[in-house]
Structures are given as structure tokens and as C-alpha cells.
């Protein structure tokens, strides 16, 4: 099982698995051309592709959108972010995907209104990835200039390959975690969902 391999052996397996979803290498190539600061392709499109391959489904099955984080704290206006979003839409238009590009330097400006709890300003895209509701979600990849992949996975990759959903009570509430886990479990019934910590 890939999830029991050492991390240095899991990394090539991750790339091979993710490339079975043709949208991922195509998006990485387009995003690299945009030269966004601190960018990553992240979240569901990655771990859900792994889950699909592990369970014998089509690699892109059940994936709603493709999340892209970048970090630019030199201009926190919505207008600056919107220009990047529109540029991304133009760069990826022919791929037929829903691509959600967000400046993680701005998240604290709207997070409480949307999710009901305040968020301190992030200091990087990595810090934003660290705060996903489940540790399994804490995964980001980007393409370097030499064609190699930079992989950010602060909790490792074993849970991703082993179909384990583990809570990450850094920012998200228990309700958010439970809602997401229930939706994922409906789509991927073989997931093991770990309980929210008590005390």
C-alpha cells in the first residue's frame, strides 16, 4: 500500500496518481505561466483525485472545482484579486473547468462573515493550507520552472493514500468538519472519518 511507504517513495506515487486526472497537469502548466506569488493548486482536486484512483473510479469523478491559492499582501483590494481571477479565467478557459483562484492574504477580510468565526491574517499560502478543516486536505502542489513539482503536505501523505479523514481544529469549527466529512463520505463510502477531538 502506498500509504505505508516512506515519504520519499510516496511523492513520486502522488505525482503519478494526480497526473491520471488530465486537468491537474494542464492546470499546473497554465498556472505556472501566470507567475502568481506563492501559488499552489490545492484542496479537493488533489486528495479527491487520489481517492478516486484508490477506489477504482474515474480520476476526476465528483470533483466540483479546482482551488488555487496565491499570496499577495502588497494590495489587499478586491479589485486586485479580481484582476487575477479574470486572468486565470482567461488562461484556463479552454480547459472547461471551474477554477477558484483566491488571494490568501485577503481571507481574514471576509472569513468571519462567511463562516462565523474570525480568522487572523495569513502570512503565506502555506499558512492558509495549514488551516483546512481536515489534515487530509492540507496538500498543495505547484510547478517549478524546471518542471519539477513543489509539494506542500504538512501532515504527510499517508492519510491521503489510506482514505483517512482526520480533523484539523486550527480554524474550522466542528460543524464545518462534520458537514464536509459527511459530504465526502457520501461520495467515497470507504473513507474512514476520524471524530472531532473532545476536551
CA angle 44, 120, 115 (to 5 degrees): 55
Closest CA to 191 of 52, 66, 65: 52
Mean pLDDT of the chain: 93
| Any domain includes 151 | yes
Q: What pTM, to 2 d.p., does this model score?
A: 0.92
pLDDT at 1 exceeding the cut of 70: no
- Is residue 4 over pLDDT 80? no
- Please check whether residue 199 lies inside any domain of the structure: no
Higher-confidence position of 172 and 57: 57
For residue 25, the tally of other CB atoms under 10 A from its CB is 15
In a domain, 45, yes or no: yes
Residue 73 placed within a domain:
yes
pLDDT of residue 122: 96
pLDDT of residue 116: 82
What number is the average pLDDT over the span 85-102? Answer: 95
Domains in the chain, number: 1
Is residue 156 in a domain? yes
Q: Averaged over 59-75, what is the pLDDT?
A: 96
- pLDDT given at position 3: 55
Q: What is the CA radius of gyration of the chain?
A: 16
- Whether the per-residue pLDDT at 82 is higher than 60: the answer is yes
List the domain range (segments joined by +) for residue 66.
2-193
Whether residue 194 has pLDDT greater than 70: yes
Mean pLDDT to the nearest integer, 11-37:
96
Q: How far apart are alpha carbons 65 and 134 in whole angstroms?
A: 18
Q: What is the pLDDT of residues 135-179, one digit of tens each?
A: 999 999 999 999 999 999 999 999 999 999 999 998 888 999 999
Residue 96 lies in a domain: yes
pLDDT at 2: 66
For residue 129, count CB atoms less than 10 angstroms from its CB and return exposed for 0-12, middle for 13-18, buried for 19 or more. buried
Q: Report the alpha-carbon distance of residue 67 to residue 137 in Å, rounded.
A: 11
CA distance 42 to 151: 10
Judge whether 125 lies within some domain: yes
Instruction: Classify residue 198: in a domain, yes or no.
Output: no
Torsion of CA 9, 10, 11, 12, to 10 degrees: 70
Amino acid at each position: 500500500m502506498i500509504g505505508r511507504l516512506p515519504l520519499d517513495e510516496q511523492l513520486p506515487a502522488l505525482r503519478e496518481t494526480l497526473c491520471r486526472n488530465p486537468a491537474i497537469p494542464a492546470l499546473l502548466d497554465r498556472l505556472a505561466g501566470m507567475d502568481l506569488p506563492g501559488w499552489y493548486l490545492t484542496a479537493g482536486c488533489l486528495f479527491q483525485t487520489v481517492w478516486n484512483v484508490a477506489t477504482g473510479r474515474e480520476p476526476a469523478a465528483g470533483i466540483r472545482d479546482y482551488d488555487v491559492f496565491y499570496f499577495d499582501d502588497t494590495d489587499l483590494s478586491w479589485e486586485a484579486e479580481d484582476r487575477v481571477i479574470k486572468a486565470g479565467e482567461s488562461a484556463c478557459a479552454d480547459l472547461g473547468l471551474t477554477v477558484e483562484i483566491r488571494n490568501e492574504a485577503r481571507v481574514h477580510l471576509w472569513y468571519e462573515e462567511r463562516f462565523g468565526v474570525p480568522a487572523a491574517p495569513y502570512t503565506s499560502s502555506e499558512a492558509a493550507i495549514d488551516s483546512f478543516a481536515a489534515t487530509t486536505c492540507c496538500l498543495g502542489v505547484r510547478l517549478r520552472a524546471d518542471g519539477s513539482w513543489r509539494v506542500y503536505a504538512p501532515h504527510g501523505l499517508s492519510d491521503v493514500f489510506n482514505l483517512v479523514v482526520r480533523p484539523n481544529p486550527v480554524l474550522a469549527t466542528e460543524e464545518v468538519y462534520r458537514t464536509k466529512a459527511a459530504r465526502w463520505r457520501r461520495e467515497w463510502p470507504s473513507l474512514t472519518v476520524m471524530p472531532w477531538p473532545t476536551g
